[in-house]
Amino acid sequence: MTATTVTVENPLLIGHGLPPFDQIRVEQVVPGMTQLLSEVNDQLTELEANLEPTWASAVEATERLTERLSWSWGIVTHLLSVQNSPELRQAQETMQPEVVKFWMRLGQSAPLYKAYKALRDRDDWNQLELAQQRVVTAGIREMELGGVGLDGEGRDRFNAIQLELSQLSTTFSNHVLDATKAFSLPLPLPEDVEGLPPSLLAQAAQAARAAGDESATPDAGPWLITLDIPSYLPFMQHSRRRDLREVLYRAYITRAASGELDNQPVIDRMLTLRQEMANLLGYGSYAELSLASKMAPNVAAVDALLESLRAASYTAAQQDLATLRDFARSQGAPAADDLQPWDVTFWAERMREQKYALNAEALRPYFPLERVLEGLFGLANRIFGITITSADGEAPVWHPDVRYFRVADETGAAIAYFYLDPYSRPAEKRGGAWMDYCINRAKQIENGVATVRLPVAYLVCNQTPPVDGKPSLMTFNEVETLFHEFGHGLQHMLTTVDYTSAAGIHNVEWDAVELPSQFMENWCYDRATLFSLAQHYETGEPLPESDYQKLLAARNFMSGSGMLRQLHFSLVDIELHHRYQPGGSETPNDVRNRLAQTTTVMLPLPEDAFLCAFGHIFAGGYAAGYYSYKWAEVLSADAFSAFEEAGLEDEAAIAQTGRRFRATVLSLGGSQHPMDVFKAFRGREPDTTALLRHNGLAA
């Protein structure tokens, strides 16, 4: 192919099927999205002129329109997360306002709103399936929350806010990525790496080579530590150099908090705009607006749950810290009487090693990624009856490390597919782990023949990559993260709902969406599951029984501190979006520090700018919704206790309970209210008993 050859069709305009990642180029984004937006805007105009209050005319026609745009723009936003570049950023920033304008136009379409309401008010409304009714009802609510009832200056202002918020969210995320990437800690001398495990030395030498020092080796260095979690966390756990831990910790907590990458003005502006947006829609706070489409009935219910868990965990967290100080003192550590945040992770790891004789690093060789996947897929077969096999080569991928898998039912027929992008790539991939949808399940009719479009998911992690010819050797935490994201994927892939707007994770209230993911984490401690995936990558030897017992014993190690940390995030989020007044006497950081008095047992440092990297609420979907992790964990712990009651050693009972979980929680998606779905599985409403018991905090 010569350099002047042009592609006949822009791949972003295909609009369906697997994304052709091998054909997509950054320079195609702006012309492709410009053309697509012109087409869907014209189609919306035509749709509005011919609307009737029927399912086919109002709902199906709208879905066809929006799915084209979602498919194309979804590819762009996905690539921005996993293959970030200055050129792609520029293209995304150019087109994002135009995409947002289309969604606003659709959400504020008076003809569409009237058609949906007329459909709901028809005499034959009850002849629609429950899933269809949920789609229509949710559509009406979303349009009302999207400003369809506003007009004139109010609507103009609301739309301006929406546009600005979408841009600020992207800016926030880019600032965090750039700030994380901008810092590195060179370690030129052997004394700089005292205490570091071989896996981190290999990784740090590889980072030094990537930064230009070809001579770097794991044994002789030099080494380079970054703020990327697979590098940062093991250093904080194992480095004996307290001075270097302090340097790294201070760099981590001040990310995106100064200079050109300062997110503090972004946060101020976002909170101000969210409050104004809520007021325009008649809500007293952004939290009230956020909860209008969630499972929790009101802010008071969220406050009550969080406070009950805080009361159960605060004393335990205080005891955790006192015990940690005593332990450091027993080891003759001068730091014991002046324990600082950069000491906590280090001494907690030492105490865990001594108390349970458990060395997290020593377990890595037992968790090579391939074996972990075999065990995970074996579990899915045991409890859900599905078979997962490699489909590498059947779909274009965005990076050579990306895998592709096929999911089949009991008959062997394919029911879903998913991509897995497992490894950390700090130069281009945002941190954390997530699941997103690539293709939604839907019933399609062509030439009178009905077919089902199979769902496809993205599962993205940031675990330790392969180093020096060794496979990716995972920490136990990374194993739990993989199980978590796979749980989200299962809800997307195992749905049996044929209406795309209620299939899988769609139309599931946000505070229930973590149920399957947190449920799956419990299986990491199940004997049969763990022994199916924990085998030494060189010898094939299974994980020693003694190590399994240590993992079980250490499961609730400092669990009071762990729960309190999540509650701190949740309470800060709700406070900022409900009671905090932008422009008042307090700054967002003041709010965080005030709440820290009762939600932390070691107060943040004065310069701690944690909020500047709190992407969940400023660059993700968790604004006034971070509590969802705890809300859903009540559900997930209670759901897992159904398997405990059936007997985890009883394969037949586990399979029976698993099929029931699949037929309810994983199958019904957003077709029913999550409380009804939970009761269909559990036979009753949830309670917090199992969550507190699993965390060792039950009274």
> Who contacts 235 (Cβ-Cβ below 8 Å, separation ≥6)?
185, 196, 200, 225, 244, 245, 248
Average pLDDT score, the chain = 95
Reduced to 3 states, what is the DSSP secondary structure of residue 416?
Answer: strand
Q: Give residue 114's pLDDT band: very low, low, confident or very high (50, 70, 90).
A: very high
Task: Tell me the average pLDDT across 235-242.
Answer: 97
Closest CA to 369 of 420, 413, 442, 443: 420
- 63-70 CB contacts, 8 Å cutoff, 24+ apart: 63/442, 63/500, 63/501, 65/40, 65/106, 66/40, 66/106, 67/15, 67/16, 67/440, 67/500, 68/15, 68/16, 68/36, 68/39, 68/40, 69/36, 69/37, 69/40, 69/99, 69/102
- Residue 150: pLDDT over 70: yes
What confidence tens digit (pLDDT) does each residue in 315-366 have?
999 999 999 999 999 999 988 999 999 999 999 999 999 999 888 889 999 9
Residue 468 — pLDDT band, cuts 50, 70, 90?
confident
**Banded pLDDT at 447 (limits 50, 70, 90):** confident
pLDDT of 21-71, one tens digit each?
Answer: 999 999 999 999 999 999 999 999 999 999 999 999 999 999 999 999 999
Q: Look-up: residue for tokens 């295909």? A: 14
* Token pair of 86 as six digits: 């200055």
Please give the share of the chain, as a percent, with pLDDT higher than 70. 99
Q: Give percent of the chain with pLDDT exceeding 90.
A: 94
Pairing between β-strand 434-439 and β-strand 456-463 as defined by DSSP bridges: antiparallel
pLDDT range class, residue 9, cuts 50, 70, 90 = confident
What is the rounded (10 degree) CA torsion for 524, 526, 532, 535? 60
pLDDT attached to residue 697:
86
The pLDDT value recorded for residue 5 is 38
Residue 6 pLDDT > 50, yes or no?
Answer: no
pLDDT at 240: 97
Q: CB-based contacts of 422: which residues, under 8 Å, 6+ apart?
A: 369, 401, 403, 461, 463, 472, 482
- Token pair for residue 407? 């999911």
pLDDT per residue over 556-601, tens digit each? 999 999 999 999 999 999 999 999 999 999 999 999 999 999 999 9
Entry pTM: 0.94
Answer yes or no: 485 catalytic.
yes
**Residues listed for the chain:** 699
Average pLDDT estimate for 428-435: 94
Burial of 239 from C-beta contacts in 10 A (0-12 / 13-18 / 19+): buried
Q: Which residue has the tokens 């949710």?
A: 138
Give the pLDDT mean for 109-135: 97
Nearest Cα residue to 339 out of 248, 227, 245: 245
Domains of the chain: 11-149 (1.20.1050.40), 183-255 (no CATH), 260-356+558-626 (1.10.1370.10), 364-554 (1.10.1370.40)
- 480-538: per-residue pLDDT in tens? 999 999 999 999 999 999 999 999 999 999 999 999 999 999 999 999 999 999 999 99
pLDDT, tens only, 67-95: 999 999 999 999 999 999 999 999 999 99
Give the model confidence (pLDDT) of 365-385 as tens digits.
999 999 999 999 999 999 999
Catalytic member of 67, 478, 485, 633:
485
Q: What is the dihedral of CA 425, 429, 430, 431, to 10 degrees?
A: -20
Residue 7 pLDDT more than 80? no
Q: Is the pLDDT assigned to residue 204 strictly greater than 50?
A: yes
Per-residue model confidence (pLDDT) at position 321: 96
Q: Which two tokens stand for residue 566?
A: 């999540």
- Range 623-639 burial, b when 16+ CB lie within 10 A, else e: bbbbbbbbbbbbbbbbb
